[in-house]
Structure 1
Amino acid sequence: MYGQGTFEDGQRQPAVGTARLAHFYDRLDSIAYGGDYNPEQWGPETHAEDAELMRAAGVNLTTVGIFSWAKSEPAPGAYDFGWLDAHLDRLADAGVAVCLATMTASPPPWLARLHPETLPVMADGTRLHPGSRQHWCPSSPVFRQYAVRLVEQLAKRYADHPALALWHIGNEFGCHISRHCHCEVSTAAFRRWLRARYGTLDALNSAWSTDFWSQRYGDWEEIHTPRTAPSFRNPTQRLDYLRFSSDELLDCYRAEKAVLDAVTPGIPVTTNFVPLAPTLDLFKWAREMDVVSYDSYPDPHDPDSVHEAAFGYDVMRGLRDGQPWLLMEHAPGAVNWRTRNGRKPRGRMRLDSWQAVAHGADSALFFQWRQSRGGAEKFHSAMVPHGGRETRMFREVTELGTELADHPALLGSVPERAESALLLDWPNWWALEQDAHPSADAAMLDAAHAHHRPLYDASVPCDVVPVDRDWSPYKLLLVPNLYSVTQETADRLSAYVAAGGTLLMSYFSGITDEYDRVHLGGYPGPFRELLGLSVEEFDPLPEGGTLRFGGGGEGTLWSEELTLEGAAPILTYADGRPAVTRNAHGAGHAWYLGTRPDPVTMRAVLDRARLDAGVRAPEVPLGVQVRTRITSDGRRVRIRLDHREGTVTVG
């Protein structure tokens, strides 16, 4: 059965996923391969060639209709799906399954003309206009009405179409308008959201600390979204606005999903997340999805991008507790939106695709199938480039399609459970990066990468997990910069260590509660006993500043004046002050980093903590990663990625 596998100790991994995912897997015979297909941009001769080239390339899944609202509803209520019928029929005849989009990512110009109130407003009052994409207010009931109406038409028309394998709602929610709507409709929705969260103004005033700077509210109508203001805005107001923004977009997704669930209850539903960003609370979103989908665009010019992509894939795998996910978009070559758009050298596209599969992806899909002739993304690479079939890129696309098809057992196989995990929490991310903090260098994604990288370099798998997950399966738990934390979560972390777990936590943790109010009694608040220390003062370093360790290496970005209350120093500064500590707590140990060690020292510290936890590392050279997936019959498939030579072996 999909979602099960056998570990070396013979124990079965619990089933994951949803029952209707079987419909998606029944439409495929190997890892999903293909990409966004936009036939509306081309004529009949090109359509005929597309069918031929898809067969040659081994394409078995295409995403259709992402930006087709204007073509499918050229005037209000005047639906025209005849063009789409022909394309879906042709794809079905060619044996290509379809991930059909709801088309709602970019409304047609007539909606803005008839209903300008659907357009988003920025914090300074600027109203955004059509001519790009995602030009809609997430709180607008008018936008939602038109979107849901379109989705209902699509669902009824294509419910039984043989090509339909998966629904794709919207596109890259939060990519452009996650925090851009401050119109009166959004303001009213924000007030409703706050009423539901706090119940009373007294509770809100307490949570927001409004006695500071005379901000106390006496009426709900006095509260606005955090618009442009003379100085620092209320930090809890901003934090709640980010929670609200994620929830409002999620409600848009839910409104469309409710229609699809009602009309096509047997068809699974997804949407694609952008490369990791502090926009949507992805752990909350993932609970609403049948399968997680992700867009990944590592920069060929950046040598660290390979690791950053791997971290993103580990997050995707963690969103639904190990369930395989879909790589919905990546690039065959260059993109169009960076300042300098580097091409991928020969073999890089193959290595990037296999890296995603090694980390749990059940697809290697691209944006897009055929490179556009016009528009803002005409220089974004595609499976079929402007030069057509007689190009290096299309030859590599065809080779990769054949290779993926040669490993059908990988489809639906479960990534092996890691022994290490890294804790990530979006509300903490939002709170950590507020302004008016000791240093702007405390940045969540940077910290997460720094903690994840030593395990990645050692080829040690690392899951990424939320604060409400059961951590007991993991021997080692990494907790970078958990600035905002509830007492409940702090107690659970303490219990995890007391039960025998090994925890490694970094500076500026345990500082505030979920309302961004400081935990009193001294830093690091609820973690003092667990860590066996207190923090007298923060001492962030100046730009480029470092502090030498007594035994070599240096601390960067940040330092703290630590008072040891049971913890033992592992690393000290040259003047003898503790920098990295280890504390026995129950049956386990808690490590604390009062600074960011340089990369070499960070690797040494993580290696010691990993060995302390009993986490094994394979004997592979730097630049090689090995991951294992477990098939439905219990077979272990080992994928070896050699980023030094650009090679992949599967077996």
Structure 2
Amino acid sequence: MPSLNDVTRGRILYGGDYNPEQWPEEIRHEDVRLMKEAGVNSVTLGVFSWSKLEPRPGERDFGWLDRLMDLMHENGVGVVLATPTASPPPWMGHLHPDTLPRDEDGRTEWWGGRQHFSHSSATYRRYAAAITEDLAARYGDHPALTMWHINNEYCTYDWGDEAAARFRAWLRHRYGALDALNTAWGTAFWSQGYGDWAEVLPPRHAHYLKNPTQVLDFKRFTSDMLLECYTAERDIVRRHTPHLPVTTNFMPLWAGQDAWRWAEEEDVVSVDLYPDPRDPLGAQHGALVQDMTRSQARGPWMLMEQAAGPVNWRGVNHPKPRGLNRLWSLQAVARGADAVCYFQWRQSRQGAEKFHSGMVSHAGEQGRTYQEVKRLGADLARIAPHTAGAPLHADVAVLHDWHSWWAGDQDARPSREVHYPEVLSAWHRALWQAHLTTDFAHPEHDLSGYRLVVVPQLYLLTDAAVDNLVAYVRGGGTLVCGFLTGVADQDDRVRPGGMDARLRELFGIRTLHEWWPLEAGETAEYGGGPHGTLWSEELEPDGTADETFPYKGGELDGLPAVLRKGRAWYVSTLPEPEALRALLADVAAGAGVRPVLDGLPDGVEAVRRGELLFLLNHGREPVTVGLPGTRRDLLTDTTVTGRVTLDRYGVAVLTS
């Protein structure tokens, strides 16, 4: 299959969404001049152009896009051509109300924004296939075309009648018979037993709590329906251009898609990433998303969207301080990106996103944003021959699964204070601050290549996943597992004992008597000093553990907060940040995992990609980093010996 390497060919793709239909046509030559000066070599066209391409049902207006494709090719800019199916034209909803999604209360989501389509609508799918077919036929042989981008940020839900019919068909395929569905959903509770498939509906608005497994299956179904929409368009463009890769852009750590499954259907895995520039942990959030995307891609990936300056959807939208856009872009390259792109090229003057920044801001060519964009383009050109296609190796895997997230973050759980993304981020942050490079993996993946596997929290684990973890430890791997893991099976059915028996044996736990969630701000001391947050558990050890670290005080006084049996650790709370960092650093050292570089100052991130060492200063003050030997900094083309100084938000890319 074609890959990102087939497009980059030793370059780093640089550019972004280009929407010139918002502007007078004469501005395009000015755009091209600025693109050349900035080192832009790739643009994405047509993402939101459906009403321009098909102004009335069945009509086609390709002339403007023909001229754009030719202009890009004449100026050496490749085109990632998008199918425009994320935003249907108003005529579609007007003529075909069945294409509009409905919410849990049955209210229609109307046109006038975007993503106003029902993933289950046969009418929508027919129109989407037709415009995709015509685009692929017309531009498949165009020399500017380098890649296909399907739709945009798949994120729609639908509780309407057509979705209900497809949901029933999906459930029939999954369970076969109603008896199996009733068993899986536990419908004996609250008199929910179904006697006819026509009675089965999506989990619409209910008087009280909804059936948790019904909600879980609806999330699975939604991910699958959106994936069907993607693969239908993908297969059309592949038929016309089997030599070109196909992608669609994930939103970072979004709950609506099982991205492990989606990534298997993409030639290029891409993501949109918008950390808050005022968030002191913004860089760590970026690193988490980058590590996850690289792991889904199993190699180089594409940063499809980021902001050159402020966004427009936060309560207060702060611009990026001078240098931060460059820093975070190079962080993405360090963690495996071979494409650095933006939404969008030129900042809009009208519409809902006119205050969302562009590579060319309202300030124009002389504005700071464009000047920084030019500098970054030059930086990427310098390092690309040494970086593009280079691998990144990790000895640590963090396990993550969307199905566990979907099951564990519903209502009527022991604590509303526990949010899976926050727990996942806390554990990844501890590894990041310990300068340990991490991959992400699904709990059923082959884990044998990792020295250390970390499970922040996996409330739902299939039998295959549990067996996989046990086999990993039995095979000599080191496992650290967080609280509320292995509680439920694939149907959100609580396992006997409140934790899978195989895991209890693995960790040296005889009985899990009770979960003891903590209030917001409450802590539980353990092990002679550290404090746990969010959660604690009443565990009775079975006497086989090699080490225990007991709670101190309170109802759990003397009972284990942390246990170690051989190479398997269980942590029944969320340690405070420094304690979690120290714990994971110590366990990693015992497993033979070393930091990328020792003795790094606070706020400095070190990542090794291929033969290059990236040093990134996330602080607002200059720092000096000690180095072994002599190296060359590709960004400055200077030789450094013994140490290198990084300015505020500074970066060094060092050869070995």
Using structure 2 for the length normalisation, give the TM-score: 0.93
Structure 1 residues 478 and 444, CA, compared in 2 at 3 Å: closer, same or farther? same
Q: Tell me what 1:307 maps to.
A: 284
**Are 1:294 and 2:294 an aligned pair?**
no
Q: 1:497 aligns with which of 445, 460, 473?
A: 473
Q: 1:232 aligns with which of 203, 209, 213?
A: 209
Q: Which amino acid aligns with 1:546?
A: T
Q: 2:8 aligns with which of 13, 19, 25?
A: 25
The farther-off stretch of 467-476 and 572-581 is 572-581
Secondary structure of the structure 2 residue equivalent to 1:34: strand
Q: How does 1:180-191 map to 2 (within 5 A)?
A: 181-191=158-168
CA contact 1:129–1:135 (8 Å) conserved in 2: yes
Q: Tell me what 1:540 maps to.
A: 517
Q: Tell me what 2:640 maps to.
A: none
Secondary structure of the structure 2 residue equivalent to 1:346: coil
Structure 1 residues 480 and 41, CA, compared in 2 at 3 Å: closer, same or farther? same
The farther-off stretch of 149-158 and 479-488 is 479-488
CA contact 2:417–2:519 (8 Å) conserved in 1: no
Secondary structure of the structure 1 residue equivalent to 2:394: coil
Q: Which amino acid aligns with 1:117?
A: D
Q: Tell me what 2:650 maps to.
A: 647
**Are 1:87 and 2:43 an aligned pair?**
no
* CA displacement at 1:568 relative to structure 2: 4.0
**Are 1:629 and 2:609 an aligned pair?**
yes
Give the number of the structure with larger relative contact order, counting CA–CA contacts within 8 Å between residues 6 or more apart.
1
Q: Which amino acid aligns with 2:502?
A: P
Q: Tell me what 1:480 maps to.
A: 456
Q: Tell me what 1:248 maps to.
A: 225
Listed as ranges, the gaps of 5+ residues in structure 1 are 1-17, 631-635
Q: Which amino acid aligns with 1:567?
A: A
Secondary structure of the structure 2 residue equivalent to 1:100: strand
Secondary structure of the structure 2 residue equivalent to 1:247: helix
Distance 1:84 1:590 in 2: 58
Q: Tell me what 2:254 maps to.
A: 277
**Are 1:146 and 2:150 an aligned pair?**
no
Secondary structure of the structure 2 residue equivalent to 1:592: strand
Secondary structure of the structure 1 residue equivalent to 2:397: strand
Q: Which amino acid aligns with 1:419?
A: D
Query: Kindly, what percent of the aligned residue pairs are identical?
Result: 48
Q: Tell me what 1:598 maps to.
A: 576
Q: Which amino acid aligns with 1:371?
A: Q
Secondary structure of the structure 2 residue equivalent to 1:406: helix
Structure 1 residues 628 and 93, CA, compared in 2 at 3 Å: closer, same or farther? same
Q: Tell me what 1:42 maps to.
A: 23
Structure 1 residues 513 and 362, CA, compared in 2 at 3 Å: closer, same or farther? same
CA contact 2:470–2:502 (8 Å) conserved in 1: no
Distance 2:494 2:434 in 1: 37
Distance 2:382 2:652 in 1: 12
Distance 1:508 1:109 in 2: 47
Q: Deviation per CA, 1:440-498: give whole Å up to 9, x if none.
A: 22322111111111110121100011122110010110012211111221111011001
* CA displacement at 1:21 relative to structure 2: 4.3
Structure 1 residues 385 and 555, CA, compared in 2 at 3 Å: closer, same or farther? same
Q: Which amino acid aligns with 1:642?
A: N
**Are 1:132 and 2:113 an aligned pair?**
yes
Secondary structure of the structure 2 residue equivalent to 1:202: helix
Q: Which amino acid aligns with 1:262?
A: R
Secondary structure of the structure 2 residue equivalent to 1:638: strand
Q: Deviation per CA, 1:249-279: give whole Å up to 9, x if none.
A: 0000011011011111111100011121211
Q: How does 1:198-209 map to 2 (within 5 A)?
A: 198-209=175-186
Q: Which amino acid aligns with 2:118?
A: C
Q: 1:66 aligns with which of 34, 47, 53?
A: 47
Q: 1:573 aligns with which of 551, 558, 564?
A: 551
Distance 2:522 2:175 in 1: 43
Q: Which amino acid aligns with 2:7?
A: F
Secondary structure of the structure 2 residue equivalent to 1:252: helix
The farther-off stretch of 479-488 and 295-304 is 479-488
CA contact 1:502–1:590 (8 Å) conserved in 2: yes
**Are 1:195 and 2:172 an aligned pair?**
yes
* CA displacement at 1:213 relative to structure 2: 0.6
Secondary structure of the structure 2 residue equivalent to 1:260: helix
Q: Deviation per CA, 1:525-573: give whole Å up to 9, x if none.
A: 4311111113110010122211123522211111100111122444322
Q: Tell me what 1:6 maps to.
A: none
Distance 2:190 2:240 in 1: 52
CA contact 2:3–2:268 (8 Å) conserved in 1: no
* CA displacement at 1:416 relative to structure 2: 2.0
CA contact 2:100–2:109 (8 Å) conserved in 1: yes
CA contact 2:15–2:40 (8 Å) conserved in 1: yes
**Are 1:451 and 2:427 an aligned pair?**
yes
Q: Tell me what 1:10 maps to.
A: none
Distance 1:579 1:99 in 2: 55
* CA displacement at 1:193 relative to structure 2: 0.2
Q: Which amino acid aligns with 2:435?
A: S
Q: 2:592 aligns with which of 609, 614, 629?
A: 614
Distance 2:565 2:519 in 1: 33
CA contact 1:159–1:263 (8 Å) conserved in 2: yes
Count matched residues: 619
Q: Which amino acid aligns with 2:127?
A: Y
**Are 1:372 and 2:353 an aligned pair?**
no
Q: Deviation per CA, 1:362-409: give whole Å up to 9, x if none.
A: 011011100001001001111111111011111111111011111222
Distance 1:315 1:198 in 2: 31
Q: Tell me what 2:307 maps to.
A: 331
RMSD over equivalenced CA pairs, Å: 1.3
Q: Deviation per CA, 1:201-242: give whole Å up to 9, x if none.
A: 111111111111111111111100000001111100000000
Q: How does 1:414-425 map to 2 (within 5 A)?
A: 414-425=390-401
CA contact 2:549–2:563 (8 Å) conserved in 1: no
Secondary structure of the structure 2 residue equivalent to 1:231: coil
Distance 1:339 1:437 in 2: 30
Q: Which amino acid aligns with 2:180?
A: A
Secondary structure of the structure 2 residue equivalent to 1:467: coil
Using structure 1 for the length normalisation, give the TM-score: 0.93
Q: Tell me what 1:552 maps to.
A: 529
Q: Which amino acid aligns with 1:456?
A: W
Structure 1 residues 521 and 403, CA, compared in 2 at 3 Å: closer, same or farther? closer
Structure 1 residues 550 and 609, CA, compared in 2 at 3 Å: closer, same or farther? closer
CA contact 1:571–1:579 (8 Å) conserved in 2: yes
Structure 1 residues 21 and 349, CA, compared in 2 at 3 Å: closer, same or farther? closer
Distance 1:410 1:293 in 2: 21
CA contact 1:508–1:524 (8 Å) conserved in 2: no
Listed as ranges, the gaps of 5+ residues in structure 2 are 620-647
Q: Which amino acid aligns with 1:647?
A: G
Q: Which amino acid aligns with 1:628?
A: R
